[in-house]
Structure 1
Amino acid sequence: MSDTKVFLLPDLGEGLTEAELVNWLVAVGDEIRVDQPIAEVETAKSMVEVPSPYAGTVAELHGRPGETLDVGKPLISVTPAGATPQKPAEAAAETYREEEKAGSGNVLIGYGTPGGHGATRRTRAPKRAATAATAVSSTEAVVPEPDVVPGTDPAEAPELTLLRTRVPGKLGAVISPLVRRMAREHGVDLRSVNGSGESGLIMRRDVEAAIHAPAGETAEAVPAEPSTAPLVEPPRTTSVSEDTDARTGLGISSRTPVKGVRKAVAATMARSRSEIPEATVWVDVDATGLLELRDGLKAGGAQPPGLLAFIARFVTAGLKKYPELNTRIETASDGSQEIIGFDGINLGIAAQTDRGLVVPSVRAAEKLTARELDAEIRRLTDVARQGKATPAELGSGTFTLNNYGVFGVDGSAAIINHPEVAILGVGRIIDKPWVVNGELAVRKVTELTLTFDHRVCDGGTAAGFLRFVADAIENPSGLLAEI
């Protein structure tokens, strides 16, 4: 019996059942070590690196970038050093107990031990010695035979290869799956593109330049510069302008798969709308006092917390007074329901990212000061936008705070982040006429909007909470002294 090991895609947390394979970090023939990252996958929660529980030689990669893989299905086959390679059919029949066989004390969001992220991600197998037939002069560029992606039909090889263009004095320019797909869709011959990346690597910007170059011209390499592109590619669309929509009679310009974060958001919002009898209350608030308090702290030489951190502090205080809004409803198999209360507040902060809307949560937010909340909100927003927030950070909230004022709008009847029971929205702060002590004045005004589950409380409770937060914003000094 062969010793080839089959690593199955693990549950990456929160009971997720599938993940999209974004990129392989190893190739067939590579020598890998235990806990070495082997692939990047995107779940409905975040982008994560999957480490290997085995050391040895990569025998087979089960999947192509862009594919959606089910949890529990083969991800990679590894032949331990000195073992006899086995056929894919034999390898697929083997399973393993992850932590015991990996010898790993941690779980990545599953797997991996500290120190598993080395500076070198892969150790390549020795390349075949060059023969006289492959020798060329230093002034010529050579395109060798493409390496076919393992597990594909040879007939599909031209569409599924990792092209390596050798340029005199430079290393091979490996084209990423995303760049290759863009080039294929727009009819760009990668062999005619000059790469602007390190060692001649062909970047996305190079293909874009080739797409927009006048006919008959070869795009020159774009000067390399620090990339400002998001760490995660936006949803990919396929041009299908030749299709016609039967309902409207219009040409279909693109089709965008609903997957990853967008799929998770859609499912959560649809469930929220179908299950929760929601109601909404709102109030205009004079935020002049809060802005003056923050300006005073800044004038004193201190770096004050952001406005959202102050509001978060008021929210946690309000939830202590009105705990009905910091609950969850659970339905038993017999149809009976319970309202589950919590000893603590995990405050979710809605954050717009390139991957979609995500809601990382500040754990035990009721124990933090405004300054501590500010630091944690900034940290969570940053990791969420990088796609590095963990499932625990993204799925443990008990109440959500949504600052949609940053988009320049005043109000919104937000959808509750199921299975929570309430969400508070904050609109933009703008100058408005306001009556102060019987006289008209120009004040800094914002709108607070609370959407709540009518099953857990009535309008009086919701209004009481909203008024508590509004009063805190209008008179922050007194309330901050108390809380």
Structure 2
Amino acid sequence: MSGAQDGEVRRFLLPDLGEGLTAAEIVEWLVAVGDAVAVDQPVAEVETAKAAVQVPCPFGGTVAELHGAPGETVAVGSPLVSVHTHVGDPPEAPAEPQAPAAPDGPVRSGPDAEATGGSVPGAPDGGGATGSGAVLVGYGTRPEGPSRRRPPRRDATGEAPRTTASAEPPPRPGGPRGQRAPVISPLVRRVAREHGIDAASLTGSGEGGLVLRRDVEAAVAAAPSAAADPLVPRARTGANGGGALRPQSAEPVPAAAPAPAPDRSPAGAERVALSAPHREMARRMARSRREIPEATVWVDADATGLLELRTALNEADPERPVSLLALLARFCVVGLDRFPALNSRFDPESEELLRPPGVELGFAAQTARGLVVPVVGAAHALTTRQLSAELGALTEQARAGTLPPARLSSGTFTVNNYGVFGVDGAAAVINHPESAIAGMGRIVDRPWVVGEELAVRPVTELTLAFDHRVCDGAEAGAFLRFIADCVERPARLIGDM
């Protein structure tokens, strides 16, 4: 497709800022109506469920309209800013283009460059032949090579589906029976199957017509009689034997939006808006409780050896201190090598365990923006001091809100130090889609039997919440017992550290 012509008002749609995020909250506008913007100039700072980022505009011109105010949430694929393109040459682009995502990965957006304001090499463009150098997929130009975009799906008559300009990305209808439905998530496919929904018949609201979980839930809500009772047989209609919800026409029928729930809040109740990270954590924890059959084991341990080890390490090299959380993390990394099931994931589609090659270690960090779980990459390859330094650096970034999205996902196991809150322990919620979380409570003096005598020792409680699908209680208990032995006698790890 060719770009817009000179002097045309072009809308820049909010791109996918990585990790499949579906919306972002406007924190601050960096431009105003009437301002001139250059290619790749940041126009807004937004906060996603994972990080605060600046979003660059992929074309230059004059700001015509800002779509939203600070504090409002904008969905991915909705207009963010409208720009009146210059007639003639565009403004000079910055020497070093800024992109909203960290170097860990590019920022993605909708696949249709024209609908989202993108440019195509060699095509006439509102900003001239020079396009964006930012890594916003679907925007800007490419230095060389053919496009990797797939051609649009065609219906039974061979016609490409019609699209109209709107705030939403153009929907991509499902193909004929036998083609792969526009669904990526195994969870979405499973939810659709459990409710007798044919995912290929739905109009996806995600990027490029991707069918998301909310699309399936809307279809379920639109057909309550078919989904209310799981014991009612699913009707089969049509010559092809498809499900009852499969449309018989070439064009898919959008699912009706469910009716809003009545307001049942108490009179005079105050509504407090949650931050984006808090909302994301709430959704993830709720999903974990729904989908993971978790169990918890715990054990008390004499922390004398642990405290002595930390003192000795810090006295030997005060410039590179080692924290208690780092020692717990080291014990867990070694333990996961012996009990790898706890470092795996359960795939509900294949009913198999997905076992990664190493440990991507998450840890709970409390920040002013809410609870987040930064991830230490390749924790199994770090020394204890390196692990402690990485935990400290990621904690500071989390509190400053500068962690890239890639550092807030892809964890395989999580550790937590509940002791900083002054509590003995917790029955923690597993960080979906991981399979386990280990924690340590406060260290407090308690009566403890040493040999055949009663003594006062620093004691801590260790806990492990685990997915009962990946292992049984015997393996989980053996892992936690190994961690407790390391806390009491850390010298046993010398051969493994």
Give the TM-score taking structure 1 as reference length. 0.66
Separation in 1, partners of 2:120, 2:490: 51
1:34 and 1:102 in contact (8 A); partners too = yes
Question: Is 1:34 aligned to 2:39, yes or no?
Answer: yes
CA RMSD of aligned residues (A): 2.6
The number of aligned residues is 339
Given the superposition, is the C-alpha separation of residues 247 and 262 from structure 1 closer, same or farther in structure 2, using an over 3 Å criterion?
A: closer
2:132 aligned with 1:103, yes or no?
Answer: yes
1:122-141 correspondence to structure 2 within 5 Å: none
The answer as to whether partners of 2:27 and 2:45 remain within 8 angstroms in 1 is yes
Q: Give the aligned partner of residue 453 of structure 1.
A: 467
- Going from structure 1 to structure 2, the CA distance change for 1:363 and 1:111 (only over 3 Å counts) comes to farther
2:250 is the alignment partner of 1:251: no
Please report how far the alpha carbon of residue 356 of structure 1 lies from its aligned counterpart in structure 2 after TM superposition: 1.2
**Quick one: structure 1 residues 55 and 310, their matched pair in 2 at CA, closer, same or farther if it must change by over 3 Å?**
same
Distance in 2, matches of 1:300 and 1:93, equals 61
> 1: CA distance between counterparts of 2:309 and 2:275?
44
1:284–1:446 contact (8 Å) kept in structure 2 = yes
Contact 1:99–1:105 (Cα < 8 Å) also in 2: no
Deviations 1:57-111 (A, max 9, x none): 2222111111111101111122333369xxxxxxx98533379785325459x99
Q: What TM-score do you get using the length of structure 2 for normalisation?
A: 0.64
Q: Given the alignment of the two structures, is residue 327 of structure 1 paired with residue 344 of structure 2, yes or no?
A: yes
Q: CA deviation at 1:405?
A: 1.0
Corresponding residue to 2:71 among 66, 70, 95: 66
Q: For 1:433-452, what per-residue CA distance to the aligned partner results, in whole angstroms no more than 9, with x for missing partners? A: 11122222221111111000
Which of 403, 416, 424 aligns to 2:438? It is 424
Q: Give CA-to-partner distance per residue, 1:373-422, whole Å, 9 cap, x none.
A: 11111111111111221111111101110111100000100011111111
Partners in 2 of 1:410 and 1:479 — Cα distance? 25
- Among residues 4, 10, 27, which one is paired with 1:22 in the alignment? 27
SS class of match (2:34): coil
Distance 1:454 1:14 in 2: 27
Aligned mates of 1:461, 1:261 — CA distance in 2: 33
The residue aligned with 2:62 is 57
Distance in 2, Cα, partners of 1:338 & 1:277: 16
1:294 to 292, 300, 310: 310
**Cα displacement (A) at 1:471:** 0.9
- Aligned-partner SS, 1:406: helix
Answer whether contact 2:314 2:322 (CA < 8 A) is retained. no
- Write the letter of the residue equivalent to 1:29: G
Q: Which residue of 2 aligns with 1:153?
A: none
> Percent identity over the alignment?
57
Q: Deviations over 1:313-354 (max 9, x none)?
A: 11100001000001112233xxx4221111011000111111
Partner of 2:109: none
Answering whether residue 353 of structure 2 is matched by residue 318 of structure 1, we say no
Alpha-carbon distance between aligned partners in 2 of 1:338 and 1:104, rounded to the nearest angstrom: 42
Q: Does 1:377 align with 2:397?
A: no
Which residue identity is paired with 1:317? V
Decide which of 262, 276, 297 is 2:292's aligned counterpart: 276
User: Which residue number in structure 1 is paired with residue 326 of structure 2?
Assistant: 309
The 1:11–1:372 alpha-carbon spacing in structure 2 relative to 1, beyond 3 Å, is same
Indicate if the aligned counterparts of 2:414 and 2:431 stay in contact, CA closer than 8 A: yes
> In the alignment, residue 434 of structure 2 is paired with which amino acid?
E
> Any stretches of 5+ residues in structure 1 without a counterpart?
85-91, 113-244
Q: Are 1:47 and 2:52 matched, yes or no?
A: yes
Could you tell me whether the CA contact under 8 Å between 1:19 and 1:71 is conserved in 2? Answer: yes
Q: Is the 8 A contact 1:20 1:66 kept in 2?
A: yes
The amino acid that maps onto 2:292 is I
1:45 Cα offset (Å): 1.2
Q: Which residue in the other structure is 2:9 paired with? A: 4
- CA shift in 2, pair 1:107/1:435, >3 Å: farther
CA contact (8 A) 1:3 1:83 kept: no
For 2:455 and 2:73, how far apart are their aligned partners in 1? Answer: 58
Query: Structure 2 stretches of 5 or more lacking a match?
Result: 90-112, 122-129, 142-262
2:406 to 387, 392, 408: 392
